Amino acid sequence: MAAEIAHLATAARNAVAAKEWPRVSAIAMEIIRRAPADAEGSFLMGLVEKAARRSEAAARLFQQALSKDDQRYDAAVELANQYLALNRYGEARELLDRYCDRLQESSLYLDMAGHGYFLMGHYEQAWPLYEQANRLQPGVEKFQAHLASCAVYLGKIDAAKSTYRKLLKRHPRHQQFHHELSQLDRARDDRHIKQMLKALKKSDPKPANNIYLYYALGKEYEDLGRWADAFRYYRKGGDAVKTVADYNVADDVEIMDKIIETCTAAWLQDKPATRQTAKTPIFVVGLPRTGTTLTDRILSSHSLVQSAGESQLLQMVLRDGSRAGNQIGITTAQIEAAAERDPASIAKAYVDAVAHRLGDEPYFVEKLPENVLYLGFVAKAWPNAKMVHLRRHPMDACFALYKQSYFRFAYSLDDLARYYLAYDRLSRHWRAVLGSRMVELNYEDLVSDQEAETRRLLQKLGLEFEEACLRFDQNVAPVATASSVQVRERVHTRSVQKWKKFERQLQPLREQLEQGGVTI
C-alpha cells in the first residue's frame, strides 16, 4: 500500500508542477480513499484549493494534513500562507516560529516562510531564511529578488545593489530590477542611464510596458540635475500608467468628503470609547512623502517607543466590520457603517491584529500615511491614542508624489491637484474637530531644526527627550517604505523647494491649487 501511495503522490506532484489541477484533485481523492490517515491527500487537496484562491478551504485542508502528521513542515508553511490571506497574522506568525527551524533543506519552503515573515513586516526573521534558500539554490531569480527586497528594508544597501546587478547581468532588460537598483543610491554618472536606454530601445514600444524604466530614468536624470529630461520621463511614466489604470480620482474625493460629513464634532462626542488599550498607539499620518517615515524613525529611536511600521490593519478593521462589502479599499457605505460601530470594538480589533508586530515598549508607532483619512475613528476609539500629522509645502509634497510609481492619485497633475484639494479640506476639518489632540509637524521645520522640533514633538506626546531621537540614522530597525534608503541618512534639506527646478512644468498644478484656495 505504501508503495502505491508513493507512486500516486509522485504523479500528483508532477501534475502540480504542470498546474493540472483537475488531475491533482483526482489523485488526491484517490489517496484519501485508499489511505485516509495519510497527510498527503489532504495536503494535495489544499494545493488545489490554494490554486483556486479559496483560502478558507485551503487552510482547513492544510490543517487536516498537519493533524495527521505534525512533522509536515510543508503543510505548516502552506497553512501560514493561507492564514496571511485571511488576515490571521498572529496564527501565521506562531506557525512560522514553530516550524522555521525545520526548513533547512527545502529552498522552496525556506523562501515561502521567509516571504511570510516579510509580508508581516518581520524582516529580521525573513532574512536568514532567504539567505539559506539562496545558498541551497543559488541563481534562482525569485529567491534572489526576495533577498534583495529584504536587504533594502534591513538597510543592507550594498548587498541589495550587488544582488540586483547580478540579476541584471542575466536579465539586462528586466525593467523592475533596473527600477529597484535606481532607488538605492543617487546617480553620479550616466552609466546606468545608458544601460536603461538600451533596454528601452529593445523593449516593447507600448508605453504601458515600460513604466518601471520611465520612472527609473526620471529619477537618475534628476540625480544628475538634468531637470527637463527627468520631468519628461516622469510624465511618460504617469501617462503610461493612466492608460491602463482603472482609477477615477472622484472616488477618492467622494470618500474624503463623506468622512468630513460623517466624522463631525458631535459624532466624536457621542459615546466615545473610555477604556484605554494596554499600549498607546501613535498614528503618524499625512500625505505620503511628507516626512512620515522620518518622524517614525525619530520616535522609534526613543526607549519607550517601537515602530509597528505601515499596515493596512486600521482600514481592514473599519472595512471588515462594516457589513458593507469586503473589497480592497474603502467605500462611502463602509464609512457610514463604521461610524455606527462601537468604537471600543474597533480599538480592540486593531490592537489584536497588530499585536504580532509589538514588543514590550508601552508606545508604538503606526505610520501608514493614508490613516489621515481615519483620524476621527482613532480619536473616538482610543482615549489614549496620539496623532501626529505631517505637513509639507504643497508643491514639494505634490511633486514628490508625482515622481513615484506607487500612488494611483498622482499619475496626472490634474488628478493630483483634485486629490490634494480634497486632502486639504480634510486636514482643515481634522484641525477644527480634533484640536490639540492632533499634533502638527512641518517637514521643512523638522529638517531645518531637527533638535527643536524633536523636543517639541516629544513634549506634545508626553515623552521625555532622549538624545537617541536625534541619532535616528543609527536606528537599525527595518524600514519598509519608499523612503527606506533616505531615512538611513542624517537629516538634510536637499528636497526643500525641489519643485522650483520644475516650476515651468508644474505650473498647471500650481494654478489649480491656487484656484482651490491653497497658498503657494
- Tell me, yes or no, whether 289 and 372 share the same domain: yes
d(CA 179, CA 482): 12
- Tell me, yes or no, whether 395 and 294 share the same domain: yes
- Tell me, yes or no, whether 316 and 227 share the same domain: no
The pLDDT-based confidence of 2 (bands split at 50, 70, 90) is confident
Least confident of 268-272, 431-435, 477-481: 477-481
- Tell me, yes or no, whether 360 and 216 share the same domain: no
pLDDT at 324: 37
- Tell me, yes or no, whether 235 and 254 share the same domain: no
pLDDT tens figures, 84-143: 999 899 999 999 999 999 998 999 999 999 999 999 999 999 999 999 999 999 999 999
Smallest CA-to-CA distance from 487 within 283, 302, 287, 293 is with: 293
- Tell me, yes or no, whether 428 and 443 share the same domain: yes
Full residue range of the structural domain in which residue 404 is found = 250-502
Residue 308 within a domain = yes
Residue with the larger pLDDT of the pair 267 and 493: 267
- Tell me, yes or no, whether 325 and 428 share the same domain: yes
pLDDT higher than threshold 60 for residue 373: yes
- Tell me, yes or no, whether 187 and 268 share the same domain: no
Q: CB–CB of 460/437 below 8 Å?
A: no
- Tell me, yes or no, whether 337 and 221 share the same domain: no
Residue 155 within a domain = no
Q: CB–CB of 25/45 below 8 Å?
A: yes
For residues 155-184, give the mean pLDDT. 96
pTM of the model: 0.90
Residue 121 within a domain = no
DSSP one-letter code for 490: P
pLDDT tens figures, 496-509: 999 999 999 999 99
How many domains does the chain contain in total? 2
Residue 69 within a domain = no
Q: CB–CB of 121/480 below 8 Å?
A: yes
pLDDT tens figures, 185-206: 999 999 999 999 999 999 988 9
* Final residue in a domain of this structure, among 244, 266, 288: 244
Residue 24 within a domain = no
Q: CB–CB of 518/416 below 8 Å?
A: no
pLDDT tens figures, 426-441: 999 999 999 999 999 9
| Number of Cα atoms under 13 Å in the Cβ half of residue 132 | 21
d(CA 384, CA 373): 19
- Tell me, yes or no, whether 358 and 226 share the same domain: no
Q: What CATH number corresponds to the domain at position 233?
A: 1.25.40
The pLDDT-based confidence of 1 (bands split at 50, 70, 90) is low
pLDDT higher than threshold 70 for residue 37: yes
- Tell me, yes or no, whether 218 and 341 share the same domain: no
- Tell me, yes or no, whether 302 and 227 share the same domain: no
pLDDT higher than threshold 60 for residue 325: no
pLDDT at 395: 98
Number of other CB atoms surrounding residue 95 within 10 Å: 24
Q: Which residues pair with 250 in a beta bridge?
A: none
* Final residue in a domain of this structure, among 199, 220, 244: 244
* Final residue in a domain of this structure, among 244, 270, 289: 244
pLDDT at 329: 79
**What single-letter amino acid sits at 501?**
K
For residues 328-346, give the mean pLDDT. 92
Smallest CA-to-CA distance from 1 within 25, 48, 33, 47 is with: 33
